[in-house]
Structure 1
């Protein structure tokens, strides 16, 4: 009777947040252990650990030549991002390792390299990371176990490029058969390029309908998955969020003053991979009955690090500062009037009186000593700062009180 002596064999990755699967980024340290539970005493040759990460694309295209001849073309490519190998248990001088029955743990640790790509699952490609353990035993097949983990590369939207407003204008002359219906113009603007899932995009738009028919404006978030292999592109586009506007009658104009479009849970943008790209765009669409649609796209980047609280405040303060600056330019004269001369405010007699020491009967003997010389050092001091109030008013002479009165 043949039975397996291994009761349990699996890879466990340490993760403080108990994510399933665990989530890491470039440069993070991955720790964990391989759990082995044996039914009886077992001889082992080695226990090896292999961490892998790949971006892969693959699709098939069938083409026909004539009515009966057809051929199939395969497209595939692969980029390796992670390839780490480690031996957790090995034999010395060809001798086998003997493990007793029961549970055994083999810890491991390694550091992820830089410049990884976010995990992704698409129609024609994927980006995956996993840790695989292999148990080698004499006269037995290799036993394998695998544990996947997720990599999310941080995208901080608090950068000048992603905080820059996005705007555009598109116009179209509508035709129905050979009839000219008129022109439709759409102008749209959003306050920045970078957003995170769960945020709301306020859309400012203006639809000018100069046609003879009513048109319907709409907005949507478009996800574009691009797969590249052997110089050929395969693209898949999908609508992930929509917003419908009111109908604009013929010859009328409609304005959107911050119409809200909420971003659903989405994977972040992937723009650093050679064979897979995930991009987003805000598309304004104006449906014209009997004619093709008018389309306007504004680029979007879905990030992972949300907008800092001071980011919006900084932009609002900056805009407020520019407005205030314009107001100051209109109100403040180009050449402000200089303050008056010191001599025109304080007369020469007042200046002399303010610098002269006070005369008091009880201080007569003191003023002839060093204290008077100390005051004399400041006779040639510079004039005080300009002020409407004289800081040194003239000293009035104090009359001695008559004791007999």
Structure 2
């Protein structure tokens, strides 16, 4: 059988859909000859798959989030043959997407993927399937998390001498970073303040500021009443900038804008196997045998902005 199929989403050429919304579309099926089928249906699916090798075994993650069908010809119970005439067959479909599903994401070791597929159920033969992927975005409303309105502050105090341990070092470097809030949207800018107090005599020759997307994969196996947990992490740098260092016995203040690109929202709730988090990493590069120092500032990326902005007292988190 020679056939083509075009799947289009109503008023949505970019094929980006939010969880909890109604997905509508059209199907244009073109057959060059008559064909017998049991049914013709559209199927919407959302799945996660990941795979990596651990020391002991190959680990796989498989999760299903969404699987719905809508029949154009025939039904689930159809057993008799139905003749489809050659020519163009037009259909429409609509699905209400659930709100408790994770966003689409693609990483090195796995992905969360959503597709709309048109299936020709062929008796005594392999089904003919046409698929069209789309991007699903979880509707993460920053207003649902009041703590994200608070200024976000992180502080790291570390000794800069080799083989020295934190507060027991006679000379330290203190890095403090502040963002106005803890929640942002894609295409927004984080106005970052960085305060450095270098009480040592060792120069920091440069700092880097990075926005990191961290994808975490996890799988739990149960065997004979025992549990084994396997995990894998990958990070992708979405923004990076190098700024001046700080000489010994010097104190400096930096102001930097961190631009957030288009990226999926933070995901820690609806997927057990694949989670997505974001952080700003500030690294002080030290010379010679001195260990580089990094400060991590976790941020949340949502899809709906704050309705208003209010001021709050600052709170410092020690690292």
When the two structures are superposed, what TM-score results if normalisation uses the length of structure 2? 0.83
CA–CA separation in structure 1 for the residues paired with 2:302 and 2:197: 33
What is the root-mean-square deviation of aligned Cα atoms in Å? 2.6
- What are the equivalent positions in structure 2 for 1:337-376 lying under 5 Å apart? none
If each structure's strand is expressed as a fraction of its own residues, which one has the higher value? 2
Aligned partner of 1:48 among 41, 46, 58: 41
1:83, CA displacement in angstroms? 1.2
Question: 1:267: which partner in 2?
Answer: 264
Higher relative contact order (CA 8 A, sep 6+): 2
Q: For the Cα contact (< 8 Å) 2:183–2:299, is it kept in 1?
A: yes
Change (3 A) 1:220 1:93: closer
1:95, CA displacement in angstroms? 4.7
Question: 1:224: which partner in 2?
Answer: 214
Question: 2:3: which partner in 1?
Answer: 7
Aligned partner of 2:121 among 108, 132, 136: 136
Question: Counterpart of 1:245 in 2: which secondary structure?
Answer: strand
Q: How many residues align?
A: 296
1:189, CA displacement in angstroms? 1.3
User: 1:49-101 CA distances to partner (integer Å, 9 max, x unpaired)?
Assistant: 3221112221123x4xxxxxxxx611112221111123321289865333333
CA–CA separation in structure 2 for the residues paired with 1:194 and 1:239: 18
CA–CA separation in structure 2 for the residues paired with 1:37 and 1:196: 42
If each structure's helix is expressed as a fraction of its own residues, which one has the higher value? 1
Change (3 A) 1:298 1:177: closer
Question: 2:277: which partner in 1?
Answer: 279
Question: Counterpart of 1:161 in 2: which secondary structure?
Answer: helix
Question: Counterpart of 2:138 in 1: which secondary structure?
Answer: coil
Q: For the Cα contact (< 8 Å) 2:99–2:138, is it kept in 1?
A: no
Kindly name which structure, 1 or 2, has the bigger radius of gyration based on alpha carbons.
1
Change (3 A) 1:136 1:164: same
Question: 1:175: which partner in 2?
Answer: 161
Question: Counterpart of 1:197 in 2: which secondary structure?
Answer: coil
Change (3 A) 1:175 1:108: same
Question: 1:201: which partner in 2?
Answer: 190
Aligned partner of 2:13 among 11, 18, 21: 18
Question: 2:202: which partner in 1?
Answer: 213
Change (3 A) 1:138 1:289: closer
User: 1:102-136 CA distances to partner (integer Å, 9 max, x unpaired)?
Assistant: 21123322222230110010111111111222213
Structure 2 residue ranges without an equivalent (≥5): 221-228, 314-319
